[in-house]
Structure 1
């Protein structure tokens, strides 16, 4: 992987002994628009504030920890030393939303020590970007503190406004709840307790991250975390009276503590993105920049791709994962059908679920190397290579983490011997060992160790039922995509009617800020009555096309059945042409939960692709094509909602138009309720 460095490093040290409230300790963003103030109270309690211009975004917020094996980190601190530095680099993504990434921040590091007899030390580092901040705790090596058994981390985010908040409940086991839109003061995550959404555990009125807030002034704030390694997922407990969030780590039934670490160590970064516009949230690289540079010398063996698969048909009930039903989907014949279709339509991969023994209740657990007798793995892989199509492996665990861990080397060795470079992992159901939650330290370590182990075999991981993304794709670029949201399949499963039309207009400004999403777009057969009476996908077909640009992933599923694509050859043309690996991304317009329009430039071809989606409201949008290269003419193939299109009443109404476009062009287009717009912009000269 090529890395371009343009580094400016300026270090200024300021040393304080016995610092008091009169001392000013602060750090500004490079453009001076954001400021972090830090200090301690008279009784040694550390706190911080965040200001944008002169406006307080985060008011006085305290920092600290509770421990199972020691007295808390709350107060009684003195400041030993502070230091400031500036860092500026440009690095390149091996794959991603763009090629060049600017990483420019000012840093403030505070070194604290207790005044009492233990004299334990704690450092806090802030990095301030033009569009937000990250801060983390650092536990240095020290004589009187060897091991931290953290029962909770008491990081506060005290807000000053009752923001409109886009939130999902702080579930310790799943991220598959719908996002809600309420005032901060009206958040009630506990209403989701015992709702039928697979395994679930919601112990407090807390929200998962990313959580995005919008103020009447137009200020946009989003909270998340970066570089989640050997630690527990952070949810945010809500104080609806005082308009505050407080970190609440995911724990375990088995121990009184939530995190166990040997010193020295540091926590993940706590992140606050702060922008004037919704579009600037999507454009931000704060999360990925807060992660360490790549530890992999070469990831060229992974190729971003579109893929089809034996998957949607199981959710529809056309076929099954196991053989006992008599409708097994993962057969040699069926896999070849998907390979043939993919080869004809510029689609690089085929996912096969249900290929291996263990899906039946009486089969004794999963075997990750032994196919069912009606699926010839070697023949399928060879057939795919002949057609230029890669097979994507599938490893479902049903939550049996220990069994999967024991088989990983054998399973990855098989993949490497067959030249298979991508695996979709799954962790449906309650975990084994018992007492663990999907988002606790145990599973964080399992997910991350799986990625590192897979890298040794030149394998990339697309994780489902995962830990949320926190930008580690920079450090381990073989962590390519993941679920971690309410996916397309809920349109089949949900007894309440599936994902609403606004769903992905919220996701683009919440979950997508964390990293790539394997959402499985491209459903053409919107009404599912042939298989699931009364079920449907709650968008238009043009909306489904737009998702290939709007919702980012380096692997994008072409999720519907082959026959539904063959019955709609014109919309299929967009899927054939659209890219998956981008040189540049431009977020043209959008508002959280309402609509969004994104244009992306493909790396290899220089062609541009545009996607726009809206919620349940129809709206006109004007596209300014000034993002295109000057003096270049593009053939624009436009796929838009028909005049009578509607997500429920007429979802298949779609119109096509081909015109020439330049950087001087503007075009106004009507999006239907639940509708969308997709445009291919192919260079002519």
Structure 2
């Protein structure tokens, strides 16, 4: 049920009238001031409970041939209050309140007779603002040279950051003060298959910070549509960030046609870290669901033929005999199989059997289609057709076998960043999925973008990602995009966008490892815009036990791998390890079988970025709860109150915890399992080891 309350007041102003406006959040804790300064530049400030959050900061854009940064007069100010409750198709909670006070200021440049509007929405948990460009005679088509949205911080905050880059977010996080970013940047820029760092003080959003006086501040963006992705450039003398847009191959930032608008720039603020994690500001700033029928969109728990290739045990390629592949010409019946190709009929049936036995919805199979022998590193346009399977993958028979077991196969489309090639085959590829009963696709964009010179996060690619999601929706297909831009809440509008990567996931544990505190930061940063396909659940943490030639190890205890199914929220959760490794630890594997992927409620019990997160979630349509805790290398002693439980009921809690000697590096597989009866008055103290955690299933008796 939705209730909407709207109130509007209008204030017309002359060029010599009042040039300032104030706005408060519904609960009054956040206060914003807006004015046009003596140069005609729009300026704003933001405070929380009287503490400065954003000091005096300028707004505006520079277009090619003219400026939208100064010479403005405040022509009109409109205020409104909005309050509704809406229900997501899937999510952390069953309903979301969208309650804000709004200020829309219309600014006019008399000299050139141009008008823009800046719209501010102030929530109890933060501020969103965007630029709007009405259709007008002197502003129809224009090219953005740069955007100059400033965020002047009130101090040298502690920050959790990754390098600013036009092509990847797959970096480990660095914790430092803002003033230290410059000296730490070189070490923070580690190798990736496609990367373009742009500045010694550039960082990416979502950026999480903590002030010396205890404010948690998060900078990001929402509703990124037909516009380049925003990073942040820091002036480390004044501690002021400004927006930094991803350019195209010509160095231009954005091609605009009025009427149009920018994405929202967001500032979340609280003195309680748990409120940052619980914020729905990013979702609320997106448009309502655009799909009339959403009955086909279902959360997914899956396994897949994937980890063994990531570890190097097996290969995506069918043969070692081909130096190059020509799609439609190369005859795979005349080459010798390499014997390590993972996507073969026998192995896929084994995964299907395991999924059916243990209640998984789908099985991902990578490396099923021809072309993997020369897919990477050659800037190859016609790299895959997304239609033709290898000789040892019977697409019809395997899908029929899966369906007979109540399981679906999940499609895989690796584009190798050749965008024209993907779009030329997309319709046929989705039709093939419909033909064989696939309803979800994992897409990938590894490598440098073709057209050459474009970036993963430029306007052109932003439009492609959304095109793929919309096209998939026409075919009732859910999308899980890897190496795409980090999400900005568009899953509200297009809920078939069920997952993204856009950060260092579990795969990097096989490439040398993620820092132990990684999963205590991602919910404060990457997950601010939407769920991540993190691929948790690795039980065999010594990679050499999967592939003797790989000496990497997973920087996590086994118990924390269970916790990630709760702390790393996603309606798309993969149990990423090999079936044979789960069969060695079936008592612990029970939690993965039991844990839900869609929720009616979520309670963040404890949180400190870079240190620990403890969250409880109520499974959709039940009275059952699941709790997860992830800790940094410092470990954590958690004090849990079960007051979120129904006071009229009793529950059986099964606790999967780190063993007394557990340690992410020295003893990762030490865990304990015990059961106890709990009520809403119960209390529990649990220790998470270094790089560890715990998971609890709470089932109604």
Please give the TM-score of this superposition, normalised by the length of structure 2.
0.95
Q: Which residue of 2 aligns with 1:93?
A: 88
Q: Which residue of 1 aligns with 2:323?
A: none
Q: d(CA) in 2 for partners of 1:344 and 1:136?
A: 50
State the shift of 1:266 in Å.
0.4
SS of aligned partner of 1:512: helix
SS of aligned partner of 1:572: helix
Q: Is the 8 A contact 2:77 2:104 kept in 1?
A: yes
Q: Deviations over 1:155-193 (max 9, x none)?
A: 000111111001111110000011110101111274158
SS of aligned partner of 1:670: strand
Q: Is the 8 A contact 1:111 1:121 kept in 2?
A: yes
Q: Which residue of 2 aligns with 1:236?
A: 232
Q: Is the 8 A contact 2:163 2:189 kept in 1?
A: no
1:561 aligned residue (563, 578, 588)? 578
Q: Which residue of 2 aligns with 1:503?
A: 518
Q: Which residue of 1 aligns with 2:39?
A: 43
Residue 157, structure 1, aligned to residue 137, structure 2:
no
Q: Which residue of 2 aligns with 1:374?
A: 392
2:568 aligned residue (551, 555, 563)? 551
SS of aligned partner of 1:443: helix
After TM superposition, where is structure 1 displaced by more than 4 Å over at least 4 residues in a row? Answer: none
Q: 1:226 to 1:180 in 2, by over 3 A?
A: same
SS of aligned partner of 1:524: coil
Q: d(CA) in 1 for partners of 2:16 and 2:245?
A: 31
Residue 17, structure 1, aligned to residue 14, structure 2:
yes
2:343 aligned residue (318, 330, 346)? 330
1:184 aligned residue (178, 189, 193)? 178
1:358 aligned residue (368, 371, 381)? 371
Q: Which residue of 1 aligns with 2:214?
A: 218
Q: Deviations over 1:431-470 (max 9, x none)?
A: 1110100000011000011101110000011000011100
Q: Is the 8 A contact 2:473 2:496 kept in 1?
A: yes
Q: d(CA) in 2 for partners of 1:365 and 1:504?
A: 34
Residue 387, structure 1, aligned to residue 387, structure 2:
no
1:57 aligned residue (53, 57, 61)? 53
Q: Which residue of 2 aligns with 1:200?
A: 195
Greater shift, 636-645 or 51-60, is seen at 51-60
Q: Is the 8 A contact 1:193 1:202 kept in 2?
A: no
Q: Which residue of 2 aligns with 1:26?
A: 22
SS of aligned partner of 1:217: coil
Correspondence 1:160-559 to 2 at 5 A: 160-188=154-182, 190-191=185-186, 195-204=190-199, 205-253=201-249, 255-325=250-320, 326=338, 327-361=340-374, 365-494=383-512, 498-530=513-545, 531=547, 532-559=549-576
SS of aligned partner of 1:489: helix
State the shift of 1:19 in Å.
5.0
Q: Is the 8 A contact 2:311 2:550 kept in 1?
A: no
State the shift of 1:43 in Å.
2.3
Q: Deviations over 1:573-618 (max 9, x none)?
A: 1011000000001100010000000110011332100000100012
Q: Is the 8 A contact 2:174 2:188 kept in 1?
A: no
State the shift of 1:645 in Å.
0.5
SS of aligned partner of 1:187: helix
What is the number of residues matched between the two proteins? 674
Q: d(CA) in 2 for partners of 1:634 and 1:373?
A: 52
State the shift of 1:41 in Å.
1.0
Runs of 5+ unmatched residues, structure 2? 321-337
State the shift of 1:45 in Å.
1.1
State the shift of 1:23 in Å.
4.8
Q: Is the 8 A contact 1:96 1:581 kept in 2?
A: yes
Q: Is the 8 A contact 2:171 2:188 kept in 1?
A: no
SS of aligned partner of 1:461: strand
Q: d(CA) in 2 for partners of 1:106 and 1:88?
A: 9
Q: d(CA) in 2 for partners of 1:519 and 1:600?
A: 18
Q: Is the 8 A contact 2:162 2:188 kept in 1?
A: no
Q: Is the 8 A contact 1:424 1:462 kept in 2?
A: yes
Greater shift, 55-64 or 123-132, is seen at 55-64
Q: d(CA) in 1 for partners of 2:165 and 2:370?
A: 31
Q: Is the 8 A contact 2:612 2:631 kept in 1?
A: yes
SS of aligned partner of 1:72: strand
Q: Deviations over 1:48-91 (max 9, x none)?
A: 111112222111111111112x2111211111100000000000
Q: d(CA) in 1 for partners of 2:692 and 2:374?
A: 41
Q: Which residue of 1 aligns with 2:614?
A: 597
Please give the TM-score of this superposition, normalised by the length of structure 1.
0.97
